[in-house]
C-alpha cells in the first residue's frame, strides 16, 4: 500500500473556504448589499439628498462616495474569490490579481452618521462597513494561511508510515 504525496498534502485553507457554503453566503450578502445600495442611491437616495441642507448634502455626497468605493473593493474581492471557487482561475492567479485590489477603508470613527443624513443611507453605511470589516479580516486570514502553506515543508509522517508499512509486508 503506497500513499501518494498528493493524497496526503494538506488542503489549503483558501481553496477550502472559497468552495464553502459560508463563502457563498458572504458572496450573496455582498452582492445583495451592492444592488440595494445602487438602487437606493439612484432612486430614493437622490430624492432625499435634494432636500438636505448644504452641510448635510456635503456629508451625504462624501459618505455615499466612500460607501460606493468600499462596495466596489468588496465586489472585486468577492468576484475574484468566486472565480477561484468556480475553477476559472487558480489560487496563484488570484494572488497576483489580488495585489490590484486595495481593501482600504476609513476607520469607523470617520463614518458620518449624522442625524441630518437619511436613515437609509446611515443603515447602508453601517452594514457596508460591517461587511467590509469582515471581508478585510478574511483577506488577512487567507493571506496568512497562504504564507504558511507556501513556507511549510512537506509533512513526513505519511511517507514514513508508508515506508514502515512496506517493511512489515
Judge whether 24 lies within some domain. Answer: yes
Residue 153 in domain: yes
pLDDT of residue 142: 81
3-state helix/strand/coil string of the chain? CCCCHHHHCCCCHHHHHHCCHHHHHHHHHHHHHHHHHHHHHHCHHHHHHHCCCHHHHHHHHHHHHHHHHHHHHHHHHHHHHHHHHCCCCCHHHHHHHHCCCCCCCCCHHHCCCCCCCCHHHHHHHHHHHHHHHHHHHHHHHHHHHHHHHHHCCCCCHHHHHHHHHHHHC
2 is a domain residue = no
Q: One digit per residue, pLDDT tens: the chain, 169 residues?
A: 444 444 545 556 667 788 889 999 999 999 999 999 999 999 999 999 999 999 999 999 999 999 999 999 999 999 999 998 899 988 888 888 887 887 875 544 455 556 789 999 999 999 999 999 999 998 888 887 766 544 444 555 566 666 665 666 6
Residue 151: the pLDDT is: 45
CA 117 → CA 17, 56, 121, distances in Å? Answer: 37, 6, 7
| Domain count for the chain | 1
Residue 5 placed within a domain:
no
pLDDT for 69: 93
User: Does 75 map to a domain?
Assistant: yes
Is 1 contained in some domain?
no
Residue 129 belongs to a domain: yes
Predicted structure pTM score: 0.74
Whether residue 121 is contained in a domain is answered as yes
The whole domain housing 153 covers: 10-168
pLDDT on residue 1? 46
Any idea what the CATH number is for the domain that residue 97 is in?
1.10.8.930
Amino acid at each position: 500500500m503506497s500513499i501518494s504525496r498528493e493524497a496526503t498534502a494538506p488542503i489549503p485553507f483558501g481553496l477550502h473556504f472559497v468552495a464553502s457554503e459560508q463563502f457563498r453566503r458572504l458572496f450573496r450578502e455582498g452582492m445583495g448589499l451592492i444592488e440595494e445600495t445602487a438602487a437606493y442611491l439612484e432612486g430614493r437616495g437622490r430624492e432625499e439628498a435634494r432636500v438636505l441642507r448644504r452641510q448635510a448634502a456635503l456629508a451625504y455626497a462624501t459618505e455615499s462616495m466612500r460607501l460606493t468605493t468600499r462596495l466596489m473593493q468588496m465586489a472585486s474581492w468577492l468576484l475574484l474569490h468566486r472565480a477561484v471557487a468556480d475553477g476559472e482561475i487558480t489560487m496563484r492567479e488570484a494572488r497576483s490579481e489580488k495585489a490590484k485590489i486595495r481593501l482600504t477603508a476609513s476607520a469607523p470613527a470617520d463614518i458620518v452618521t449624522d442625524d441630518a443624513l437619511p436613515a437609509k443611507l446611515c443603515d447602508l453605511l453601517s452594514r457596508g462597513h460591517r461587511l467590509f470589516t469582515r471581508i478585510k479580516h478574511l483577506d488577512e486570514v487567507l493571506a496568512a494561511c497562504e504564507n504558511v502553506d507556501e513556507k511549510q515543508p512537506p509533512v513526513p509522517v505519511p511517507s514514513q508510515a508508508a515506508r514502515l508499512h512496506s517493511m512489515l509486508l
